[in-house]
Structure 1
Amino acid sequence: MPRRIRSRVLPFWRDPAAVFGLRYADAEYVVWLDGGDDASGMSMLGRAHQASELVTAVLDAGEGATLGTGRIETVRPVADTRTTTATVREGAVLDLLAEALAMPAVELEPGEPAPGPLGWFGWFGYELGAAADGVPVSHAETPDAAFLFVDRALVFDHVARELRLVWLDSDDGSAWADAEATALGEMIGDDGATTATGHPHRSTSTTAPPAVAEWRHDAARYAELIEACQAAIVRGDAYQLCLTNRVDVDVHPDPAATYLALRATSPSHHGGFVRFGEVALLSASPEQFLLVEPSGRVSTKPMKGTRPRDADPVRDAELRAELLASDKERAENLMIVDLMRNDLGRIAELGSVGVEGLLEVEEYAHVHQLVSTVHARIAPPRSVLDVVRAAFPAGSMTGAPKHSAMSILHGLEQGPRGIYSGAFGYLGVDGGADLAMVIRSIVLAPSGASIGTGGGITALSVPAEEIEETRVKARALLAVLGAASTPAE
Structure 2
Amino acid sequence: MNLRYRARVLPEWRDPARVAEGLLAEERFGFWLDAGAGATSGPTYLGIASTVATAHRPTNSVLVHAGDAVAQTLTPDASLPDLHAVLESVLEGAAVTAADVPGFGGGWIGFLGYEYGAELVGAPAADSRPAALPDAGWMLADRLLAFDHAARTVTLIEREDLAEDPRWASPVERSVGNPLLAGLGEEPAAELPAAELPTAESSTAHWRHSAAEYRTLVERCRTLIAAGEAYQVCLTNEVTVTGEFDSLALYLRLRALSPTDRGGYLRFGDSALVSSSPETFLSVDDARVVTTRPVKGTRRRDADPERDALLAAEVVADEKERAENLMIVDLMRNDLGRVSELGSVTVSELHVVETYAQVHQLVSTVRSVLRPEVEVGDLLRVAFPAGSMTGAPKHRAMLHLAALERGPRGAYAGAFGYRDARGPLELSMIIRSILVEPGAARVGAGGGITILSDPEREYAESLLKARALLRVLGVAEPA
TM above 0.5, one fold?
Answer: yes
Change (3 A) 1:254 1:60: closer
Aligned residue runs from structure 1 range 297-312, under 5 A: 297-312=289-304
| SS of equivalent residue, structure 2 residue 157 | strand
CA contact (8 A) 1:113 1:294 kept: no
Match status 1:147 vs 2:138: yes
Structure 2 residue identity aligned to 1:146: G
Task: String of CA shifts for 1:30-60, please: whole Å, max 9, x gaps.
Answer: 1000110233200001112xxx211111113
Structure 2 residue identity aligned to 1:369: Q
For 2:390, the equivalent position in structure 1 comes to 398
CA contact (8 A) 1:5 1:114 kept: no
Unaligned runs of 5+ in 1: 62-69, 199-203
CA contact (8 A) 2:36 2:255 kept: yes
**380-389 vs 338-347, greater mean Cα deviation:** 380-389
For 2:11, the equivalent position in structure 1 comes to 11
For 2:56, the equivalent position in structure 1 comes to 58
For 2:275, the equivalent position in structure 1 comes to 283
Which of the numbers 377, 381, 384 marks the counterpart of 1:385? Answer: 377
Q: 2 CA distance for matches of 1:187 and 1:215?
A: 37
For 2:193, the equivalent position in structure 1 comes to none
Aligned residue runs from structure 1 range 215-254, under 5 A: 215-254=207-246
CA contact (8 A) 1:57 1:73 kept: yes
Report deviation, 1:461.
Answer: 0.4
For 1:440, the equivalent position in structure 2 comes to 432
Structure 2 residue identity aligned to 1:152: R
For 1:23, the equivalent position in structure 2 comes to 23
Structure 2 residue identity aligned to 1:237: E
For 2:106, the equivalent position in structure 1 comes to 118
For 1:131, the equivalent position in structure 2 comes to 119
For 1:64, the equivalent position in structure 2 comes to none
Aligned residue runs from structure 1 range 325-474, under 5 A: 325-474=317-466
Q: 2 CA distance for matches of 1:306 and 1:290?
A: 21
Unaligned runs of 5+ in 2: 77-81, 176-180, 190-195
**21-30 vs 262-271, greater mean Cα deviation:** 21-30
| SS of equivalent residue, structure 1 residue 407 | helix
CA contact (8 A) 1:123 1:425 kept: yes
Aligned residue runs from structure 1 range 248-263, under 5 A: 248-263=240-255
Change (3 A) 1:179 1:108: closer
Match status 1:42 vs 2:40: no
CA contact (8 A) 1:361 1:371 kept: yes
For 1:67, the equivalent position in structure 2 comes to none
For 2:149, the equivalent position in structure 1 comes to 158
Q: 1 CA distance for matches of 2:98 and 2:29?
A: 28
Report deviation, 1:357.
Answer: 1.7
Report deviation, 1:316.
Answer: 0.4
Q: 1 CA distance for matches of 2:330 and 2:381?
A: 18
Structure 2 residue identity aligned to 1:232: L
Report deviation, 1:351.
Answer: 1.1
Q: 2 CA distance for matches of 1:87 and 1:195?
A: 47
Task: String of CA shifts for 1:166-212, please: whole Å, max 9, x gaps.
Answer: 12322x35x23x5522344x879xxxx864659xxxxx987966211
Report deviation, 1:86.
Answer: 3.0
| SS of equivalent residue, structure 2 residue 443 | strand
For 1:89, the equivalent position in structure 2 comes to 74
Q: 1 CA distance for matches of 2:57 and 2:357?
A: 36
Structure 2 residue identity aligned to 1:127: E
| SS of equivalent residue, structure 1 residue 149 | strand
| SS of equivalent residue, structure 1 residue 328 | helix
For 2:79, the equivalent position in structure 1 comes to none
Report deviation, 1:270.
Answer: 0.8
| SS of equivalent residue, structure 1 residue 53 | strand
Structure 2 residue identity aligned to 1:17: A
| SS of equivalent residue, structure 1 residue 454 | strand
Report deviation, 1:213.
Answer: 1.0
CA contact (8 A) 1:108 1:114 kept: no
Q: 2 CA distance for matches of 1:458 and 1:121?
A: 35
When the two structures are superposed, what TM-score results if normalisation uses the length of structure 1?
Answer: 0.89
For 2:88, the equivalent position in structure 1 comes to 98
When the two structures are superposed, what TM-score results if normalisation uses the length of structure 2?
Answer: 0.91
Q: 1 CA distance for matches of 2:30 and 2:96?
A: 23
| Matched pairs, number | 457
Task: String of CA shifts for 1:288-321, please: whole Å, max 9, x gaps.
Answer: 1011112211100000000000001111001001
Report deviation, 1:28.
Answer: 2.0
Change (3 A) 1:4 1:73: closer
| SS of equivalent residue, structure 1 residue 483 | coil
Report deviation, 1:102.
Answer: 1.9
Q: 2 CA distance for matches of 1:472 and 1:207?
A: 17
Task: String of CA shifts for 1:267-299, please: whole Å, max 9, x gaps.
Answer: 011110111111111101010101111221110
Report deviation, 1:108.
Answer: 7.2
CA contact (8 A) 2:23 2:168 kept: no
Q: 1 CA distance for matches of 2:71 and 2:8?
A: 34
CA contact (8 A) 1:479 1:485 kept: yes
Of all paired residues, the percent bearing the same amino acid is 48
CA contact (8 A) 1:346 1:390 kept: yes
Q: 2 CA distance for matches of 1:57 and 1:344?
A: 25
Q: 1 CA distance for matches of 2:95 and 2:422?
A: 9
CA contact (8 A) 1:33 1:272 kept: yes
Structure 2 residue identity aligned to 1:233: I
Report deviation, 1:348.
Answer: 0.5
| SS of equivalent residue, structure 1 residue 102 | helix
